[in-house]
Amino acid sequence: MLSPTRARATLLAAGAAVAGLLLSSLAAGPSAAADQNSCRPDGLYQTPGVDVPYCSVYDADGREKMGADHQRRVIGYFTNWRTGKDGKDAYLVPDIPWDKVTHLNYAFAHVDGSNKLSVGPDSADNASTGMTWPGVEGAEMDPTLPYKGHFNLLTKYKKQHPNVKTLVSVGGWAETGGYFGPDGERVDSGGFYSMATNADGSVNQAGINTFADSAVAFIKKYGFNGVDIDYEYATTMKDAGNPLDHTLANGRRAGLVKGYDALMKTLREKLDRAGEADGKHYLLTVAAPSSGYLLRGMETYQMQKYLDYVNIMSYDLHGAWNEYVGPNASLFDDGKDNELAQAGVYTTSQYGGLGYLNTDWAYHYFRGSMPAGRINIGLPYYTRGFKNVQGGTDGLWGKAATTDCPAGAGLTKCGDGAVGIDNLWHDKDTNGKESPAGSNPMWHAKNLEKGIVGDYVTDYGFPANTQLTGTYARKYDATLVAPWLWNAEKKVFLSTEDEQSVKAKADYVVDKGIGGTMIWELAGDYQWNAAKGQYETGSTLTTAMYDAFKSATPYGAKRSTIDLPTQALDIDVSFGQFPLGDSNYPISPKLKITNRTQATLPGGTEFQFDYSTSAPANAKDQSGFGTTIIRSDHTAANNIGGLKGDYNRVSLKLPAWQSLAPGASVELDFVYYLPTSTPSNWTVTFGGKSYSLAGDLARGTTVVEPGTGTSPTPTPDPTGPTPTPTPTEPGGSCSAPAWNAATEYGGGSTVSHGGHEWKASWWTKGETPGSTGEWGVWKDLGAC
């Protein structure tokens, strides 16, 4: 499945914190045509020197054009394995509710052993490019296309529904670190982990370039509108992601975030160039974690600036990877989450009483760095569940007995997951046995709720005369916005979604100005078949979202909630040098400010910025810059029923005795306690005037020199020739070339700076030798 069937929530209880931040990219290149740039979404990076045809996808306010009856996105994942060829339920392209969705993500392609995007070799049994479905109405192939399979039908139906965009999704839980070969066996190729990051933790730019070039060629060949990256996960937290990948991934943890960031930047730039040539903007999106634990090890998710939008995997918040019984995808916290309570989250003062295993928290995490309209929340069309549940209210917030985990789970103890008729869509462990998880499509869960044994059960190995034990009573918690089924006789708890919860989440999307929803996966939706007297695959939930969105107001297209100055300065701010893994709590990066203007910033210069209310209003510095929270949009002692606003606003000042000359940098120790994405909406004030910062990439701002109102000298295109290094250090005794802030250095590179020679431990750019600390990128080789 898209998100892990195991491990994520086990790791969640370990703590809550985040890391990383890079706000250093410049505003759109001066060669970008004004008419196209007027359609660029707020905060979206534009490749310098490229006239990106944004207006082919976005309107003059930077909002995506999706058709008059689609004010918000409805993004459905369509999987390649429900072909019906295995005798089980098929879900084919004709089954998609094309008039209800705005985007389709095709799951999954993979990174092959040559670092290229692939769906496997062409053959008659390749579901993507070769398979056919004779006799299935609507599945007739378009004979004008040079390929068959799902891709043929997607292209065929897109001609009938031109407002629907398709993206190829790469990776997923099972294929992030490898892929499935034609024989169905997994190939441990390294996938994203080795394609983007070398064994020494440096960026594998060659592998990234190969992948990105292949991705551009792939979407052109098969008619996709973009690429969706499902990399699970580029985090420094040990043992995150698929246990089958741990051996490879754990050795590269220190470099995974840098590799991910380089991957997204490279993809963005190559897609932008292809789009300019083709006259249409290509989308770049990701499936992003909602886990506070995973996000804690992803710095500040600084790659968001390269994305058209982010799809939050706001599900799998509780499941049988541990014993804590709770909802799969609750919208809000209720202050009673047993897993969080056991971890002391509600009682540890630094956390601010914030519960973080809910959709609202995850949305606010990303809202810190993106307009609401560039964020979509995830909805599961499948269940998660436990058996032998003790305590709680109708099972909610109870506990399941701990038991041995499925083979290959990478955990020592798991919760007692539901099995058999309560686990229809189960995975198998590495020994080929059923993995207890309570995983079912929603159409099967509806039949359980109504006491119906569907005629499909024989396809899943159950006898035709199967009888249900006990009653599956539907329960609903309005504070959480979470339904579930409770079988008191079997002590089975199945977390579900249905029309009531989906409509409530759709209303939340509309109210917050959110871009829309993402569905994993379309095949789990349901409808009632009166002739058969059972629920079957349908589009009831998707239609409910469409109905809620079709007359909604346009989504939120601005990141800032305050008016920012229209003049911006080229002052670079970045958060880096995060401690790795479990050492990164509290979250204590270095905030580095670099003056790239031609004016000296005087002592007392004030910087202000926003960070998300996903972290409490208690950030501070330990370097004498007087960091103060001057406004918090959420002032409650908890977040029961949701966070009340988007931002905490921070003020800090250069000490009175410290000025910042052109080209100079200053660092301070920064501390916060729960994850937040890239701080945004920066201002800098000195000499009686306030400016924005170019790195925010805000719409409507012009980069100027302080006090002049004139544009600065253009910054060299970072994709062009590498600037000539400055001469070696005075005295001429250093044999290595002098460090240059504009040069990219790979792992193992040596430079001279400050009378010493330095060696880069991994890829770096703009990080001054001597400023990165003992565990940073630059290692001091001694005086020269």
Name the residue with higher pLDDT: 15 or 217: 217
Average pLDDT over residues 188-211: 97
The model's pLDDT over 128-171, given as tens digits with 9 standing for 90+, comes to 999 999 999 999 999 999 999 999 999 999 999 999 999 999 99
The model's pLDDT over 257-297, given as tens digits with 9 standing for 90+, comes to 999 999 999 999 999 999 999 999 999 999 999 999 999 99
Highest mean pLDDT, choosing among 516-530, 572-586, 703-717 = 516-530
Residue 707's pLDDT is 81
* φ, ψ (nearest 5 deg) of residue 641: 80, 5
Residue 442's pLDDT is 98
Contacts of 178 (CB under 8 A, 6+ apart): 110, 186, 187, 188, 189, 190, 191, 244, 245
pLDDT above 90 for 211:
yes
Cα dihedral sign for 575, 577, 583, 586? negative
pLDDT above 50 for 15:
no
Q: Which band of pLDDT confidence, cut at 50, 70 and 90, is reported for residue 365?
A: very high
Beta bridge partners of 475: 484
Where does 744-783 sit in CATH, by number? 2.10.10.20
Buried b / exposed e along 424-440 (16+ C-beta atoms within 10 A): bbbbebeeeeebbbbbb
pLDDT above 80 for 721:
no
Q: Which band of pLDDT confidence, cut at 50, 70 and 90, is reported for residue 769?
A: confident
pLDDT above 50 for 579:
yes
The model's pLDDT over 425-480, given as tens digits with 9 standing for 90+, comes to 999 999 999 999 999 999 999 999 999 999 999 999 999 999 999 999 999 999 99
The model's pLDDT over 630-679, given as tens digits with 9 standing for 90+, comes to 999 999 999 999 999 999 999 999 999 999 999 999 999 999 999 999 99
Please give the helix or strand (H or E) that residue 630 lies within, else none: strand 628-632
pLDDT above 90 for 762:
no
pLDDT above 50 for 110:
yes
C-alpha distances (whole Å) from 618 to each of 23, 105, 645 are 21, 39, 16
Q: How many CB atoms lie within 10 A of CB 473?
A: 12
The model's pLDDT over 58-94, given as tens digits with 9 standing for 90+, comes to 999 999 999 999 999 999 999 999 999 999 989 999 9
Q: Which band of pLDDT confidence, cut at 50, 70 and 90, is reported for residue 708?
A: confident
Q: Which band of pLDDT confidence, cut at 50, 70 and 90, is reported for residue 756?
A: confident
Q: How many CB atoms lie within 10 A of CB 80?
A: 19
**What span, in angstroms and rounded, lies between the C-alpha atoms of 248 and 252?**
7
The architecture that CATH gives domain 1-66+102-313 is Alpha-Beta Barrel (3.20)
Residue 50's pLDDT is 97
Cα dihedral sign for 352, 353, 357, 359? negative
pLDDT above 80 for 232:
yes
Contact 576, 19 (CB under 8 A): no
**What span, in angstroms and rounded, lies between the C-alpha atoms of 132 and 149?**
6
Name the residue with higher pLDDT: 134 or 741: 134
Contacts of 247 (CB under 8 A, 6+ apart): none
Residue 394's pLDDT is 98
Residue 66's pLDDT is 98
Residue 13's pLDDT is 33
Average pLDDT over residues 755-761: 79
Q: Which band of pLDDT confidence, cut at 50, 70 and 90, is reported for residue 713?
A: low
Q: What is the mean pLDDT of the chain?
A: 91
Beta bridge partners of 106: 78, 168
**What span, in angstroms and rounded, lies between the C-alpha atoms of 270 and 276?**
10
Structure tokens given for 248: 């490879």
The model's pLDDT over 323-361, given as tens digits with 9 standing for 90+, comes to 999 999 999 999 999 999 999 999 999 999 999 999 999
**What span, in angstroms and rounded, lies between the C-alpha atoms of 324 and 321?**
9
| Fold designation for 567-703 | Immunoglobulin-like (2.60.40)
pLDDT above 60 for 5:
no
Residue 531's pLDDT is 98
Contacts of 598 (CB under 8 A, 6+ apart): 662, 705, 706, 712
Q: How many CB atoms lie within 10 A of CB 136?
A: 14
Residue corresponding to tokens 């701990």: 402
Average pLDDT over residues 508-534: 98
**What span, in angstroms and rounded, lies between the C-alpha atoms of 725 and 746?**
15
Average pLDDT over residues 411-423: 95
Contacts of 39 (CB under 8 A, 6+ apart): 54, 55, 57, 58, 59, 60, 62
Q: What's the distance, CA 25 to chain centroid?
A: 20
Q: Which band of pLDDT confidence, cut at 50, 70 and 90, is reported for residue 732?
A: very low
Q: Parse the chain into domains and list their residue ranges.
A: 1-66+102-313, 567-703, 744-783
